[in-house]
Amino acid sequence: MPDEPDLVPLAGATWPEVDRSARKLLILPLGSTEQHGPHLPLNTDTVIATALADQVHKHFLQIGLAPPMPYGASGEHRDFPGTLSIGTQALTVVLAEFVRHASLTWRHVLVINGHGGNTPALAAVTELMRFEGRSMAVAHAASGGDRADPHAGYRETSLMLHLAPTTVRTDRFEVGNLSSLPDLLPRLQTDGVRRVSDNGVLGDPTGANSDEGRRIFEGMFAAVLNKIRLLTTR
């Protein structure tokens, strides 16, 4: 998009600046405010989603970047103080209204999602927007690998050591429940995280490091870029 004017993030833009832009794509970083064990901050998912969105905006300054949404569906973490969840039903309504209004100005909306618990709401809204003739896509901040543990383990801790190292309490690393997510999911859905992991960790943060976090982040960024290119050529 070389001939299109640059656009600062929407939080700092004026409406005429937005009006002069191509208004082809708006990105919404979606996270959560939930426990991430004794060593990671409550805003971990929001930090990761926002970092991905910021990196995309640095590469495509013509794209609109909305302020991050820091609340999601985190009911499975309800037994840990500090968690703030609006639930799947409310999140579905909020996202639907967000995309409906954004589509008055933008051709496409891309949600960069940092929290797995938001997935059911995102799937429902994507289908509804398709039915209504609006363009919405989702990019999940996820990565595979041998140590892609479910929550506050090696992967997320490495990412945060890369993105926000001063927020990581490296002296508080604790091993959590090491079972796989498919094995844990039934109990997580019915009983919540605390019943399967008293410290809130699903995995093992031991050995996490910023170099691995950078590698994971670069892989996620490449996946988001591919989605961006598909959307901006439509």
Above 80 in pLDDT, residue 220?
yes
Above 50 in pLDDT, residue 1?
no
H/E element holding 191? helix 181-191
pLDDT value for 233:
79
Amino acid, res. 123: A
The helix/strand/coil state of 202 is: strand
Above 90 in pLDDT, residue 124?
yes
Above 90 in pLDDT, residue 198?
yes
Alpha-carbon distances, residue 36 vs 8, 12, 175, 227 (angstroms): 31, 30, 12, 28
CATH 3.90.1170.50 fits 10-232, yes or no: no
Place of tokens 């859905």: 189
Residue 190's pLDDT band (cuts 50, 70, 90): very high
Alpha-carbon distances, residue 226 vs 68, 139, 217 (angstroms): 21, 10, 14
Above 50 in pLDDT, residue 223?
yes
Q: Report, as an integer, the average pLDDT of 185-210.
A: 95
Above 80 in pLDDT, residue 222?
yes
As a whole number, the mean pLDDT across the chain is 94
The dihedral through the CA atoms of 120, 121, 127, 128 has a sign that is positive
Among left, alpha and beta (phi > 0; psi -120 to 50; other), residue 37 is left
Tokens of 154: 């090696």
C-beta neighbour count of 25 within 10 angstroms: 23
Lowest mean pLDDT among 35-44, 70-79, 110-119, 179-188: 179-188
Contacts of 199 (CB under 8 A, 6+ apart): 37, 38, 174, 176
Which of 173 and 229 is assigned the larger pLDDT? 173
H/E element holding 46? helix 44-59
Above 90 in pLDDT, residue 218?
yes
pLDDT value for 145:
60
Output the pTM of the full model.
Answer: 0.95
pLDDT value for 34:
98
Above 60 in pLDDT, residue 43?
yes
